[in-house]
Amino acid sequence: MPIAAKLPSILIANRGEIACRVIRTAKRLGLRTIAVYSDADAEALFVQMADEAYRIGPASARESYLDADIILKVAKESGAACIHPGYGFLSENADFAEACQAAGIVFVGPPASAIRAMGLKDAAKALVEKASVPVVPGYHGAEQGADFLRAEARRIGYPVLIKAVAGGGGKGMKKVDRPEEFDDALASAQREGKNAFGDARVLVEKYVLSPRHVEIQVFGDSFGNVVHLYERDCSLQRRHQKVIEEAPAPGMTDEVRAAMGKAATEAARAVGYVGAGTVEFIADGRDGLKADGFWFMEMNTRLQVEHPVTEAITGLDLVELQLRVAAGEPLGFSQADVTATGHAVEARLYAEDPEKGFLPSTGKLWALQFPEGEGIRIDTGVEAGDTVTPFYDPMIAKVIAHAPTRLEALDRLARALGETVVAGPRTNLAFLKKLAESQGFREGPFDTGFIERNISGLGAEPQPLDAAAVAAAALQLEEERQLAGLMQAAERVDGEHRSPWLVADNFALMPQPLLGLPLLVDGERVEARIEWDEDSARVSLPGHEIGEGEHEITLAQGERGTYLALHRGRQTAVSLFDPFSVDLDAASGSGGVIKAPMHGKLIALFVTAGEAVVKGQRLAIVEAMKMEHVLTAPRDGTVTEVAGEPGGQVAEGAKVVVLGD
C-alpha cells in the first residue's frame, strides 16, 4: 500500500532548507504538504513549495515555531495526518511528541520515551553506560551549584568542556582551559542553554585531546529492527559547530566500524528507538581510530543537518524511510543489506563573516546562483531576493559533493564552491573553498582543532583590500555616472528624451583622459584613478597592487547605488563616496564608540555611565541567532554613554557604549 494511503498529508513544523527538503520527498510520495510560517517567512521558498501554508505568529521563534499549541491547532484544522518536525525547534521535544499522539496525529520521529531518555546529555550518558557503551569521564549529575561544578572541573582536570544538558549545535558548550576562566564560561553556557533550549542545567566532562567527532546514523522500526547506515566524520568544526561533514570517516577500519556501529545500535535498542537518529562519539585521533578509543557523547533523536552525505553513499532517502516507519512499515532490509558507494562531503554555507570572527551577517540576497552537474547536490531554503534575517539559523545552503574517492569528492566540492555566487550578506564561501582545498585536511591527520590551528591560512582574519574587485566596480560605477549625465543631456535636447546610444543623436561617451573617483569600499574611503586610451580604461588605486586574478569578478547591484564585487568567494561593497553620508561617530577617530556587530538582542550590560574600564573588559553581550557575542573595551577609558536597555533589540552598527578618555 502506498504511503500516501496511510499518511495522506504532512505538516512540516519547521522552516528553511529542511522544510524544502521534506516537502520534496513528501510530494514525490504523493502526500499533501502543509507548511507553517512566521511573519519573517511569509514569502519564503518553503511556503511557496507547500500545497498549503498557515501563519503561526511573529518572527520570534518562541512565538511561532516553538509554539506547540498553535502548530497542533493548525495541524488539526488542516487535517494533517502526520507532523515532521525537521531538526531544531520542536524536533526533540517529548511533550510535543506526546501531544501529537494525543491529538491522533502521527509524529514523524521516535517515541516520547526515547526522546526523554536521550534528550538530556547527563541522563543519556547514565543510560548508555548500563548498556556497556563507553562514555567520556566527567560529572553528569543533578547538582548545579557553581562551587560544586568548579570543584568537579578541578577533579576531572583541565581542559574541560561545559555543556548544556539539553544543548546541540554548539550552543551552551564552552571549552575551559584554566580555572580562572571557569565562572564566566559556566554563566555563558547556562544563559545559552536557557535561551536556546529552555534549560540552564549543564554537565562538565574531560576534554579529549586531538578529538575526532564521528557519528553513526541509526534507524529503527516499530518491530524491533535497528540498523546503522555507516558513519559520518564531523571533525571540521569551529566553536563546536560543524562546518564540513563527510562519509565514510577517513581512516575508518572494518574493526572500528563494527565496534562503533554495535555501540550505537545498542544505545538505540536501550531506549526502544524508532525512526532516524544519530549516536555521536568522540574519538582520540592522535594515533588513528581504534576500537577501544572512542566514547559516547550524545544521541540526537532526529534527522541531522548532515544526513545528505549518508544518503549519497547509501542511495537511501532518509526522509522516505522516516515516513515509511512512521506509517507502521518495517525497515525492509537488514544490516547486511546496507552498502556504501564512494565518498561524500557536505559544506555548510552560512551568512557569516570569517574576517570578523564569523559574526552572523544579515540582509537581502541580491544574487544567488548554485552550480549543477554530476555528483553535486544543493539543499537550500532561499533564493535570490530573499532576506537572511537575524531571527533564525543563518544557513544559506548545504553544498554536497559525491564521487568515487575522497579526493575526487573534495575536488568536486571545491569546484562547486568556486562556482557558487552569493551577494548580499557576508558568507563563509571563500573559507569553505580553502578548507576543501587544504592539504592538511586532505592528507590528515586532522581533528576538531584543525580550523583553529589553521585559521590564518584559511583566510578567517581581516584580509587586504581586494583591489581587482574594487577596480571592476569602479569602472562600472563610472560608466553609469557618465551614462546618467548623457541621459540628462539628451533629455534637454529640444525638450524631449533622446537615447545617447542612437548615432543620429550625435552623443557618445567622452571620458576624460584622467579621472579621480572617490569611492566608499566596505565603509572606508578609497581614491581610484581611471585613465583612458583609445580602446580601454585602466584603474589604479594608490597604495594597492591590482593583480590580474585567476577568477572572474562578478558584479551584483546592491542597495543605494552599491555594487557587490564577488571575487574568489569574497565580497567587496563599492559605491561612490558621498560626503553627506559620513558616519560621524566613526569619523571622530576616538575608537571609543562600541557598536553592535550584528542585529540582535542586547542581553547584558556590565557598565554604567561614569565607570572607568580597562582594555579588554566586558562591556555588554549581544545575542544573535542563539549565540552570544561579547563586546569588550578597545582601550582604557571612562564610560560616557550607555545606549539601549538589556532585553531590547539592537541593529547592526548601533551604538551600545561610548568611551571617553
pLDDT digits (tens, 9 = 90+) for 288-306: 899 988 999 889 999 999 9
Checking if the pLDDT of 487 tops 70, the result is no
CA-based max dimension of the chain? 92
Domain with residue 55: its CATH number is: 3.40.50.20
**DSSP 8-state code for residue 200:** -
354 is written with which cell numbers? 570569517
Checking if the pLDDT of 124 tops 60, the result is yes
559/587 same-domain check:
no
Assign 202 a pLDDT band (cuts: 50, 70, 90): very high
365-393, pLDDT tens digit by residue?
999 999 999 999 999 999 999 999 988 99
Q: Which residues pair with 531 in a beta bridge?
A: 514, 538
Asked if 348 is an active-site residue, the reply is no
Assign 348 a pLDDT band (cuts: 50, 70, 90): very high
Please state the rounded mean pLDDT for residues 81-92. Answer: 96
Assign 587 a pLDDT band (cuts: 50, 70, 90): very low
| 425 in any annotated domain | no
Q: What is the pLDDT of residue 551?
A: 65
- What HEC string does 419-439 produce? CCEEECCCCCHHHHHHHHHCH
Domain limit, last residue, from 151, 172, 206: 206
Contact status, residue 230 vs residue 315, Cβ threshold 8 Å = no
The contacts of residue 196 (CB under 8 Å, 6+ apart) are 164, 167, 171, 172, 626
Residue with cell string 569602472: 475
Q: What is the pLDDT of residue 493?
A: 57
Domain with residue 628: its CATH number is: 2.40.50.100
Checking if the pLDDT of 417 tops 70, the result is yes
Compute the distance between CA of residue 251 and CA of residue 256 in angstroms, rounded to an integer: 10
How many domains does the chain contain in total?
4
- What HEC string does 601-612 produce? EEEEECCCCCCE
576/600 same-domain check:
no
Active-site residue identified among 212, 232, 257, 302: 302
491/515 same-domain check:
yes
Sign of CA dihedral 283, 288, 290, 292: negative
Residue 454 CB: number of other CB atoms within 10 A? 16
**Proportion of the chain above pLDDT 90, given as a percent:** 69
Assign 548 a pLDDT band (cuts: 50, 70, 90): low
Supply the Cα-derived Rg of the chain in whole angstroms.
Answer: 27
Contact status, residue 175 vs residue 448, Cβ threshold 8 Å = no
Residue 362, helix vs strand vs coil: coil
Contact status, residue 184 vs residue 162, Cβ threshold 8 Å = no
Domain limit, last residue, from 563, 580, 597: 580
Residue 214, helix vs strand vs coil: strand
Please state the rounded mean pLDDT for residues 504-530. Answer: 74
Domain limit, last residue, from 87, 108, 129: 108
| 443 in any annotated domain | no
| Distance, C-alpha 279 to centroid of its chain | 21
Q: Which residues pair with 277 in a beta bridge?
A: 218
Checking if the pLDDT of 576 tops 50, the result is yes
| 323 in any annotated domain | no
| 653 in any annotated domain | yes
| 227 in any annotated domain | no
570/505 same-domain check:
yes
| 393 in any annotated domain | no
- The mean pLDDT of the chain is 90
Nearest to residue 347, comparing CAs of 207, 451, 256, 211?
A: 451
Strands 82-84 and 9-12, sheet pairing:
parallel
- For 32-56, letters b (16+ CB in 10 Å) and e give bbbbbbbebbeebbbbebbebbbeb
Q: What is the pLDDT of residue 512?
A: 61
Assign 484 a pLDDT band (cuts: 50, 70, 90): confident
570/590 same-domain check:
no
* Weakest mean pLDDT among 344-358, 504-518, 630-644: 504-518
Domain with residue 482: its CATH number is: 3.30.700
Phi, psi at 644, each rounded to 5°: 90, 165
| Distance, C-alpha 431 to centroid of its chain | 13
98/174 same-domain check:
no
Compute the distance between CA of residue 57 and CA of residue 42 in angstroms, rounded to an integer: 10
- Is the pLDDT higher at 434 or at 652? 434
| 412 in any annotated domain | no
Contact status, residue 158 vs residue 179, Cβ threshold 8 Å = yes
506/607 same-domain check:
no
The length of the chain in residues reads: 661
Checking if the pLDDT of 500 tops 50, the result is no
505/572 same-domain check:
yes
Please state the rounded mean pLDDT for residues 565-572. Answer: 94
Residue with cell string 558507494: 341
Domain with residue 167: its CATH number is: 3.30.1490.20
489/592 same-domain check:
no
Compute the distance between CA of residue 94 and CA of residue 217 in angstroms, rounded to an integer: 21
Assign 613 a pLDDT band (cuts: 50, 70, 90): very high
Show the domain range for 495: 467-580
Q: What is the pLDDT of residue 492?
A: 61
Q: What is the pLDDT of residue 491?
A: 64
Q: What pTM value is reported for the model? A: 0.85
576/486 same-domain check:
yes
Assign 542 a pLDDT band (cuts: 50, 70, 90): confident
The contacts of residue 494 (CB under 8 Å, 6+ apart) are none
| 309 in any annotated domain | no
39/100 same-domain check:
yes
14/79 same-domain check:
yes
Phi, psi at 129, each rounded to 5°: -60, -35
425 is written with which cell numbers? 550578506
Checking if the pLDDT of 498 tops 50, the result is no
Contact status, residue 465 vs residue 526, Cβ threshold 8 Å = yes
Checking if the pLDDT of 510 tops 60, the result is no
